[in-house]
Amino acid sequence: MHGARLGLAAAPRRDKKPADERGAKMPILVMKFGGTSVATLDRIRRAAKRVGREVANGYDVIVIVSAMSGETNKLVEFVGETGQFYDAREYDAVVSSGENVTAGLMALTLQEMDVPARSWQGWQVPLKTNSAHSAARIEEIPPENILAKFGEGMKVAVVAGFQGISPEGRITTLGRGGSDTTAVAFAAAFGAERCDIYTDVDGVYTTDPRISDKARKLDRIAFEEMLELASLGAKVLQTRSVELAMRYKVKLRVLSSFGELDDAAGTLVCDEDDIMESNVVAGVAYSRDEAKMTLISVADRPGIAAAIFGPLAEAGVNVDMIVQNISEEGRTDMTFSCPTDQVARAEKAMQAAKDSGEINFHDLVADTDVCKVSVVGIGMRSHAGVASQMFAALSAEGINIKVITTSEIKISVLIDRKYLELAVQALHDSFGLESAV
């Protein structure tokens, strides 16, 4: 997505002040409600009360809704039962319908509260995408239609998330979790003051509270930290939505739909400059379903990495960690990690490459009993010793590290899966994450 195409130039951020006889514009707030937040009519009513409160606070509100919890899975199953090789365009037409139902019910509920509201499907906005059905990318959100309705007195535009329209005029969907991306894109296109993401958790935690009872909710977290945590397994926000928010500097706030109506705490995801001071490590993330694959005794020659990872990419294998070790004269071992459900695909791609003569290796060994544990923090840029502290904490618990990768603000290790919870708790304690700076 490009800034001008999202409508940023057409809809600059507006000051928070009420409309008056001179035609001053209301500020815009984007509120997104996930599937669990709109799972029943009672929950839709509760969400509508939150929207009504923001209208009373002086905002024009764009509400992005997901399908009611479980509905998209049902629709996906229905499509699958029609046949193995289905038309992706019709798949999008079916699975996008869940959001349409929620949008209509939310608009009706707001109208019963005397809040001027109407629902919008993706094609009515229009939210324009490319033609990659079931994995479409947003290309443009012209703001004129919704802004015109705000000018006529509408206070809430309830938009079906997850969906758009292709250049050919067909309904498209953005991939699972696409409603988060929809919300951030609208906030960028309309110059919204903030984008509030309502979900079933009350913010972003230093680690999974189900694993560590010492996990602490963060008041603020930098875009880069949130992006790393999301990509490493934290389920709070969809990765694409965080990427988009970071690019357009959209302030995100993660809130619970189930707290008190006046509870506006949550976690603010913002620019690093908006955070005065933070711990060196912001959080500990993990991914349980990882596999370690090793090509044994590969020819050590220029181009061998491309010969290995090219076929893997073409096969749709998401490679993460990569380690190369010299095994013998002129030979090398190549180790990489990937999701466990892609092991068979990786094995097939490597065997095909071997059969075609592109690569030659002695054996391919897959270890599917590993997991990935990571520490993330922008403070790593200016503090030494994070890696040694991490490794010492794991060593003290008798946990062997199989693979290590690092970036500027992240250190990840592969370990035996049976040690996952122990490792997360040990690292959380070692870096003192239960306490704020």
With both helix axes pointing from N to C terminus, report the angle between 386-396 and 420-430 in degrees, rounded to the nearest 10. Answer: 130
pLDDT tens digits for range 129-146: 999 999 999 999 999 999
Please give the pLDDT value at position 274: 82
Stretch 409-417: mean pLDDT, rounded? 95
pLDDT tens digits for range 251-260: 999 998 887 6
Please give the pLDDT value at position 14: 45
Stretch 96-124: mean pLDDT, rounded? 98
Instruction: Confirm or deny that 198 is annotated as ligand binding.
Output: no
Mean pLDDT of the residues in the chain: 90
- Better-predicted residue by pLDDT, 329 or 384: 384
Domains and CATH numbers, the chain: 4-276 (3.40.1160.10), 284-430 (3.30.2130.10)
Q: Are strands 171-173 and 163-165 parallel, antiparallel or unpaired?
A: antiparallel
Across 124-133, 202-211, 264-273, 279-288, which has the greatest mean pLDDT?
124-133
Region of poorest pLDDT, from 159-163, 166-170, 221-225: 221-225
Q: Does residue 24 carry a pLDDT above 80? A: no
| Closest C-alpha to 437, from 276, 283, 268, 284 | 276
Instruction: Confirm or deny that 118 is annotated as ligand binding.
Output: no
Please give the pLDDT value at position 330: 76
Across 91-95, 287-291, 405-409, which has the greatest mean pLDDT?
91-95
Please give the pLDDT value at position 202: 86
Instruction: Confirm or deny that 235 is annotated as ligand binding.
Output: yes
Distance of CA 19 to the CA centre of its chain: 35
Q: Judging by beta carbons within 10 Å of its beta carbon (0-12, 13-18, 19+), is residue 60 exposed, middle or buried?
A: buried
Stretch 309-336: mean pLDDT, rounded? 89
* Percent of the chain topping pLDDT 70: 92
Please give the pLDDT value at position 248: 94
**Which residues are CB-neighbours of 268 under 8 A, at least 6 positions away?**
219, 220, 221, 251, 252, 253, 274
Distance of CA 35 to the CA centre of its chain: 15
Instruction: Confirm or deny that 431 is annotated as ligand binding.
Output: no
pLDDT tens digits for range 226-245: 988 887 766 678 888 999 99
Amino acid at 416: D
Token pair, residue 393, equals 């904490």
Instruction: Confirm or deny that 35 is annotated as ligand binding.
Output: yes
Stretch 200-222: mean pLDDT, rounded? 90
Stretch 101-123: mean pLDDT, rounded? 98
Region of poorest pLDDT, from 8-12, 45-49, 411-415: 8-12
* Percent of the chain topping pLDDT 90: 75
Instruction: Confirm or deny that 205 is annotated as ligand binding.
Output: yes
CA distances from 392 to 398, 426, 434 (A): 10, 10, 19
Distance of CA 173 to the CA centre of its chain: 15
Instruction: Confirm or deny that 213 is annotated as ligand binding.
Output: no
Stretch 391-409: mean pLDDT, rounded? 95
Please give the pLDDT value at position 12: 40
Query: Would you say 6 and 188 are in contact if contact means Cβ atoms under 8 Å apart?
Result: yes
| Closest C-alpha to 48, from 261, 266, 197, 263 | 261
The residue assigned the tokens 């009350």 is 202
Please give the pLDDT value at position 16: 43
Determine phi and psi for 49, rounding to 5 degrees.
Answer: -65, -40
Q: How many residues does the chain have?
A: 437
- Better-predicted residue by pLDDT, 275 or 33: 33
Query: Would you say 101 and 68 are in contact if contact means Cβ atoms under 8 Å apart?
Result: yes
3-state SS record for the chain: CCCHHHCCCCCCCCCCCCCCCCCCCCCEEEEEECHHHHCCHHHHHHHHHHHHHHHHCCCEEEEEECCCCCHHHHHHHHHHHHCCCCCHHHHHHHHCHHHHHHHHHHHHHHHHCCCCEEEECHHHCCCEECCCCCCCCEEECCCHHHHHHHHCCCCEEEEECCEEECCCCCEEECCCCHHHHHHHHHHHHCCCCEEEEEECCCCCECCCCCCCCCCCECCEEEHHHHHHHHHCCCCCCCHHHHHHHHHHCCCEEEEECCCCCCCCCCEEEECHHHCCCCCCCCEEEEEEEEEEEEEEEEECCCCHHHHHHHHHHHCCCCCCCEEEEEEECCEEEEEEEEEHHHHHHHHHHHHHHHHCCCCCCCEEEEEEEEEEEEEECHHHHCCCCHHHHHHHHHHHCCCCCCEEEEECCEEEEEEEHHHHHHHHHHHHHHCCCCCCC
Query: Would you say 157 and 63 are in contact if contact means Cβ atoms under 8 Å apart?
Result: yes
CA distances from 61 to 95, 147, 159, 162 (A): 26, 11, 10, 18
Structure confidence at residue 327 as a pLDDT band (50, 70, 90)? low
CA distances from 235 to 11, 127, 196, 366 (A): 31, 25, 16, 26
Please give the pLDDT value at position 261: 61
Instruction: Confirm or deny that 32 is annotated as ligand binding.
Output: yes
CA distances from 268 to 217, 253, 287 (A): 11, 4, 24
